[in-house]
Amino acid sequence: MQNKTSILIIYTGGTIGMIQDPKTGILKPLAFDNIYRYLPVLENFDYNFEFYTFDPLLDSSNMHPSFWVELATLIEKNYELFDGFVVLHGSDTMAYTASALSFMLENLNKPVIFTGSQLPIGKVRTDGRENLINSIEIAAAKVEDTPLVPEVAICFENKLFRGNRTTKLNAEHFNAFLSGSYPPLAEVGVYIRYHENLIMKPNFRKLKVHKILDEKIAILKLFPGIRENVVNSILNIKGLKAVILETFGAGNAPTVAWFLSALHAASQRGIIIFNVTQCKGGAVDIGKYETSAELGKLGVIGGSDITTESAVTKLMYLLGSGFPKEEVEQLLQTSLRGEITVG
């Protein structure tokens, strides 16, 4: 007899795992021993479930790279024991964590599906039930004993997105996430419709987990009227190795002399400058307009259609891996986990 599909559900913290105390009205974490009380439908799945709850739980606003290492290590330890993983996570920084895990889990051949909710699972109208049920079914999905979605993804409001392509878009609506430059991997209706041509294929190589992340980066978001002292204060942070430059449109930035001089000086000091668009869709195209051509002359690296969340975590991963500056710059322009469109 074939073994049952096994799923590890990991609760890191966040709204989805909260219930309201009937006496005080205060939200408190759900003990997963009681999960079937709130989600009796889980008993209809012919799967083996195990649950792991981080202690202490972490509000997603307090998310930190050290926690990403803990999460990646947990998945590594249980990788051979389970067919898929569902990670319950606060929505505010979910896109960062999903992006980070996509880079840290090299040669991933099993689903790691992130989900959460806008309303606690104990609320009558919670979106958490649907999100969790969909995530479990996707994490368990196989074709000829091969996982259908062998990558890190986010399942929210009836859509499955590649994790490192997402951004949180809305704090109120159930459709909280956007993947502006890459279509959904799957859409949930009466059936789950998988877009298999968009999903990464398994490579069947041994999982390799990267646990060193270098946080010596900063984000410089441009805005009309940004002052010279603001730019210089960021570019001259002690120990800084890389800056994500959030530019306008297709990668455009001011052409005033002091701004270009500041970028040039930073580049000369060995700081990597990674040009990422502020737009929720579209891509950086250095040289398309005169206002971006100057950046290219200074050695600024174009980020194509990468999200800021993915840019942050990709840089941490690459810098932590100890690659020389030239190789980091080359890899930033290479699709490692499907995070950018190349060519």
pLDDT mean over 296-301: 88
User: What is the pLDDT at residue 1?
Assistant: 37
Mean pLDDT rounded to a whole number for the chain: 90
Q: In order of start, what are the domains of the chain with their CATH numbers?
A: 5-209 (3.40.50.1170), 217-332 (3.40.50.40)
Round to whole Å and give the CA distance between 172 and 323: 41
Q: How far is CA 248 from the centre of its chain?
A: 22
| Residue 117 or 307, more confident | 307
Q: How confident is the model at residue 297 (pLDDT cuts 50, 70, 90)?
A: confident
**What is the tens place of the pLDDT at every residue in 118-171?**
787 777 788 878 999 999 999 999 998 899 999 999 999 899 999 999 998 877
Q: What is the pLDDT of residue 343?
A: 67
Tokens of 265: 């000086």
Cis peptide bond N-terminal to 202, omega within 30: no
Query: What integer pLDDT is reported at residue 87 of this predicted model?
Result: 97
**pLDDT of 289:** 67
- What's the confidence (pLDDT) of residue 287? 66
pLDDT digits (tens, 9 = 90+) for 82-133: 999 999 998 899 999 999 999 999 999 999 999 988 787 777 788 878 999 9
Percent with pLDDT over 90 in the chain: 67
Strands, E assignment, the chain: 5-11, 18-20, 27-29, 47-53, 84-88, 105-106, 112-115, 142-143, 146-147, 152-156, 159-162, 167-168, 177-178, 186-188, 192-194, 208-209, 217-221, 242-247, 272-277, 301-302
pLDDT of residue 229: 96
Among 151-155, 258-262, 295-299, which is the least confidently predicted range?
295-299
- Give the residue among 259, 299, 250, 258 at the shortest CA–CA distance from 277: 250
Instruction: Quick: pLDDT tens for 211-233.
Output: 999 999 999 999 999 999 999 99
> Which of 78-87, 258-267, 281-290 is predicted with the least confidence, judged by mean pLDDT?
281-290
Question: What average pLDDT does this structure show over 254-274?
Answer: 94
Write down the pLDDT at residue 252: 86
Who wins on pLDDT, 96 or 284? 96
Catalytic residues, by residue number, are 15
Task: Inform me whether the pLDDT recorded for 16 exceeds 60.
Answer: yes
Which residues lie across from 167 on neighbouring strands? 178
pLDDT tens digits along 238-251: 999 999 999 998 88
